[in-house]
């Protein structure tokens, strides 16, 4: 034994909800060592020899899931051995020779939907010196007890239902909506291809669902404090109720205002319009992001802006569908930048997305340099101003 340790971190503390995925982190600390490994398993506390309590899933190249007979566990399937014990452990890549302490391994664990009672999470870790032998290696152990709990009741914050682009208080059928609160989900992730069924976007992700005016919304992103959804098709206008449910537990209704148009542009850093040049490179002041190049737009250039809440398309595309090609809006859009009219070449639903509107505008030749406000208008409703950086060539 050395002077280090192994620790395990659960996202919601030492508890679990049957059927609800957790992202788990194991951290090994030993300042004297430089190569790393681990193995973990979960068993029912009442009878740890009776079998597994859920499924492990690797989330990167540093971990793998194996069965009791050392075979690789098929993804999404149980081990074929009996009992069907499974383990998650390091891969060769995961040993990371030469990496200093501390080192972490991350993976997902999904308790079975019928799992009950206390569970024991066993972890063994190897902090090695990297000499290719067992001599001088340090082995650490830890055990955590997870107690079964029910899902928390989600709570929507006051004023917590907003336009996902402007964070304003009005929403529109088919637009993107953000919901703020507490206990809204037990995981944090966006939708992925496996969440779609027969081409339709999910209405529930990891147990989190949303209804708007009693109709299921399409869930695009979940986290404990924010959920983003595409509002369902609905002709209702005026005050409507929004509810978030988590594993069958529903929040108190939160009221929001629905109207035919609630246009807004998505923003970078709460100021700059999400915009692209014709080659799809990003428009913005130089250095806006450390890892993505941004360049200002030129007067007379055509740029692409992105938003939501611009009303229906023609032909209509149902909410929750990734439209395969761009579809024009049913109502005309006008644009101004720095108080000057800009020509709208196209305004419609962006290809390959759900509810995302793209508007192509050609900037006036005389638009001034600097951060200029751009405003789009549809159905008599204007977007809040967003900035576009203009700069003439040297």
For the stretch 256-288, pLDDT in tens is 999 999 999 999 999 999 999 999 999 999 999
Last residue of a domain, one of 98, 118, 148: 148
Q: Please give the Cα distance from 91 to 323 (Å, whole number).
A: 40
pLDDT of 82 reads 66
User: To the nearest whole percent, how much of the chain has pLDDT over 90?
Assistant: 78
> Would the pLDDT of 246 be above 80?
yes
Span 354-363, pLDDT tens digits: 999 999 999 9
Q: Please give the Cα distance from 101 to 315 (Å, whole number).
A: 58
> Would the pLDDT of 207 be above 70?
yes
Mean pLDDT for 125-141 is 93
Q: Please give the Cα distance from 181 to 244 (Å, whole number).
A: 10
Mean pLDDT for 39-46 is 93
Q: Please give the Cα distance from 325 to 338 (Å, whole number).
A: 31
**Residues 41 and 161 grouped into a single domain:** no
> 300, 248, 260, 247: which is closest to 278 by C-alpha?
300
**Residues 138 and 186 grouped into a single domain:** no
**Residues 51 and 66 grouped into a single domain:** yes
Report the chain's C-alpha Rg in angstroms.
26
> 84, 100, 104: which is closest to 38 by C-alpha?
104
CA 21 centroid distance within chain: 14
Q: Which residues pair with 239 in a beta bridge?
A: 257
Q: Please give the Cα distance from 341 to 70 (Å, whole number).
A: 68
* DSSP H or E stretch at residue 376: strand 370-378
331 or 393, greater pLDDT: 331
Q: Which domain holds residue 77?
A: 5-148
| Number of domains the chain is built from | 3
Candidate from 10-19, 306-315, 374-383 with smallest mean pLDDT: 10-19
pLDDT of 393 reads 75
Span 70-98, pLDDT tens digits: 888 877 677 776 667 889 999 999 999 99
pLDDT of 6 reads 97
Residue-wise DSSP of 22-75: EEEEEEEE-TT--EEEEEEEEEETT-TTS---SEEEE-STTEEEEETTSPBPPT
User: With bands split at pLDDT 50, 70 and 90, how would you rate the model's confidence at 112?
Assistant: confident
Last residue of a domain, one of 226, 258, 290: 258
**Residues 218 and 235 grouped into a single domain:** yes
**Residues 27 and 118 grouped into a single domain:** yes
Last residue of a domain, one of 233, 258, 283: 258
User: With bands split at pLDDT 50, 70 and 90, how would you rate the model's confidence at 116?
Assistant: confident
The pTM score is 0.67
**Residues 189 and 321 grouped into a single domain:** no
370 or 69, greater pLDDT: 370
Name every residue whose Cβ is closer than 8 Å to that of residue 109 and which is 6 or more positions away in sequence.
21, 22, 24, 42, 54, 55, 56, 57, 88
CA distances from 25 to 7, 28, 57, 58, 196 (A): 8, 10, 13, 12, 28
Mean pLDDT for 344-370 is 97
**Residues 125 and 205 grouped into a single domain:** no
CB of 328 closer than 8 Å to CB of 315: no
Q: Indicate which CATH number applies to the domain containing 114.
A: 2.60.40.10
pLDDT of 181 reads 92
With b meaning 16 or more CB within 10 Å and e meaning fewer, what string describes 61-70?
ebbbbbbbee
């Amino acid at each position: 034994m050395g002077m280090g340790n192994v620790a395990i971190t659960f996202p919601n503390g030492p508890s679990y909800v049957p059927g609800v995925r957790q992202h788990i982190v194991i951290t090994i600390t030993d300042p004297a060592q430089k190569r790393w490994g681990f193995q973990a398993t979960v068993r029912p506390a009442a009878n740890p020899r009776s079998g597994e309590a859920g499924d492990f899933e690797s989330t990167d190249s540093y971990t793998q899931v194996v069965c009791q007979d050392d075979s690789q566990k098929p993804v999404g399937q149980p081990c074929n051995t009996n009992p069907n014990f499974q383990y998650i452990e390091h891969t060769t890549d995961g040993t990371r020779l030469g990496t200093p302490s501390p080192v972490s391994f991350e993976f997902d664990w999904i308790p079975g939907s019928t799992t009950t009672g206390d569970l024991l999470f066993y972890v063994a870790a190897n902090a090695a010196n990297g000499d290719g032998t067992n001599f001088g290696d340090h082995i650490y152990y830890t055990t955590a007890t997870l107690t079964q709990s029910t899902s928390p009741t989600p709570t929507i914050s006051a004023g917590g239902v907003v336009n996902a682009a402007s964070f304003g208080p009005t929403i529109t059928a088919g637009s993107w909506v953000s919901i703020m609160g507490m206990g809204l989900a037990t995981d944090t992730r966006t939708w992925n291809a496996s969440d779609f069924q027969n081409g339709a976007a999910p209405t529930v992700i990891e147990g989190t669902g949303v209804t708007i005016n009693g109709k299921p919304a399409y869930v695009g992103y979940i986290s404990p404090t924010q959920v983003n959804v595409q509002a369902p098709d609905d002709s209702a206008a005026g005050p409507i109720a929004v509810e978030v449910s988590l594993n069958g537990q529903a929040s108190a209704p939160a009221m929001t205002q629905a109207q035919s148009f609630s246009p807004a542009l998505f923003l970078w850093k709460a100021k700059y319009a999400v915009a692209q040049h014709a080659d799809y490179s990003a428009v913005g002041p130089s250095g806006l992001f450390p890892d993505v190049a941004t360049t200002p737009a030129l007067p007379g250039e055509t740029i692409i802006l992105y938003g939501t809440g611009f009303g229906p398309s023609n032909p209509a595309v149902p909410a929750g569908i990734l439209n395969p090609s761009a579809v024009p809006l049913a109502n005309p859009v006008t644009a101004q930048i720095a108080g000057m009219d800009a020509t709208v070449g196209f305004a419609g639903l962006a290809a390959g997305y759900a509810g995302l509107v793209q508007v192509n505008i050609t900037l006036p030749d005389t638009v001034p340099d600097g951060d200029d406000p751009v405003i789009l208008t549809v159905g008599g409703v204007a977007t809040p101003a967003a900035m576009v950086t203009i700069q003439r060539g040297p």
